[in-house]
Amino acid sequence: MINRRSTLKSMVLGAVSALAMAAAGMPSAEAQNKELKIGFVGVTSGPAAAWGTSNVRSMQTRAAWINETGGVKIGDATYNVNIVTFDDQKDPKRAIAGMEKMAQEGIHYVVGPNVDDGAAAVRPVAEANGIIYFPYAFPKALYQKPASNAVLGMIANYQSGPAIYKYLKENKGVKTIAFVAANESDPLSQRDGGVEAAKALGLKIVAQNDTYQNDTRDFTPVLTPIVALKPDLLVLSGVAPANAPLLIRAARELGFEGLISTETAQDAKVLEEGAGEYANGFISVGGASTPEIASDAMKEFVARYTKMFGEYNDESNTKVYALEYIIDTLKANPAAIDNVDEFKKTMDTFSAPNPYLKGDAKLSYVGTTSFGQKRQLAVPMVVNEYKDGAFQTLFVGTVD
């Protein structure tokens, strides 16, 4: 009788516990999981907000998907993924504060920052606190020895620029090129890299010193002398998504008939709203997927993202990868869960199936050619052309 009562009591308590979890919207298996915090420090407000917003939304979409399906098993434990975010407002000082917050919360893996100044500013904090971070910024010093804690999350302008210029030279007859950039370190650095690539390809540079303030809204005075030179290609170096349509519209209204390109990712909706048909033919680096190479998992990711946020940004085809790489590298070496030195050891030989591409594509770390060590995520280099409200694939490449 005592055993029977004990058994009945246990059953009742178990049922009450299960009902409580259900009432809280929490499956019992998920409630038993540990928590894996992954950080984001980057820009989600202002003219460049689209860059960081696509990061955050990609991470939140993927984390919700993982948690919904029971979490991720790393070693002997199963974890729910919790995304902790911080808007640095494209301010290096705030980026430092954001990375310090991540350190205080015991977070060892952080996605971002999105721009050069922020990525450089947080380096001392990351290195002092055992944080691996995944910037979307291009200074080589972040990824070359003695630096070792930063991992480039996308294709750099000095990797995509030469590929774009070469394609346009060979396929569109481009012979002359002009550059314009915001008067900030990030776009100016990208401009300098573009100039170097153009020279190497034998293109004639007709303008390279024209700049503008990032809060400019009337670009006619900036572009008038450049348009008068009639370059075959106008490069908007490091242009923020909010400024791209304004520059494009101003150039077209001044009568510019050449090609316009950039090596930064853009937002099709912003282009459509800001430039309309003037944006047709605009060339930019796209998200790391196309309909031809996207797997079923990528299609499901896009569907989940769209359902969660009501829209989709093509750039998230690239931004989906950072969290995937972090988790799969931890799965390959569970000791890295709280030890970034173990993570670094794993990077050199890491390989895992790429869930977002058709076929037998692999996730791996690259960058040896550009940085002398593997400090870059291997993602497809997709170059897009904008047309009538959407991006169309111009070509797809790779880097090593």
Are 173 and 255 within one domain?
Answer: yes
Distance, CA of 354 to CA of 297 (rounded, Å): 10
pTM of the complete model: 0.80
**Percent of the chain whose predicted confidence (pLDDT) is above 70:** 92
Average pLDDT over residues 372-381: 95
> How sure is the predictor about 292, in pLDDT bands with cuts at 50, 70 and 90?
confident
Choose among 109, 124, 83: nearest CA to 343: 109
Render pLDDT for 10-23 as a digit per residue (tens, 0 to 9): 444 444 444 444 44
- Considering the domain boundaries, does residue 281 fall inside one? no
**13-to-8, 9, 10, 16, 17 alpha-carbon distances in Å:** 9, 6, 5, 5, 6
Give the structural domain span for 210. Answer: 157-264
Are 163 and 142 within one domain?
Answer: no
What does 143-154 look like in DSSP terms, one character per residue? TSTT--SB-B-S
Choose among 37, 141, 138, 134: nearest CA to 347: 134
Are 122 and 208 within one domain?
Answer: no
Question: What CA dihedral angle connects 76, 77, 78 and 80, to 10 degrees?
Answer: -150
Are 39 and 136 within one domain?
Answer: yes
Report how far Cα 196 is from the mean position of its chain's Cα atoms. 24
Average pLDDT over residues 144-157: 96
The answer to whether the peptide bond before residue 146 is cis (omega within 30 degrees of 0) is yes
Q: Is 353 helix (H, G, I), strand (E, B) or coil?
A: strand
Looking up residue 363, the CATH number of its domain turns out to be 3.40.50.2300
Average pLDDT over residues 55-77: 98
Number of domains in the chain: 3
Question: CB under 8 Å to 190, separation ≥6 — which residues?
Answer: 138, 157, 161, 181, 237, 238, 263, 264
> How sure is the predictor about 31, in pLDDT bands with cuts at 50, 70 and 90?
low
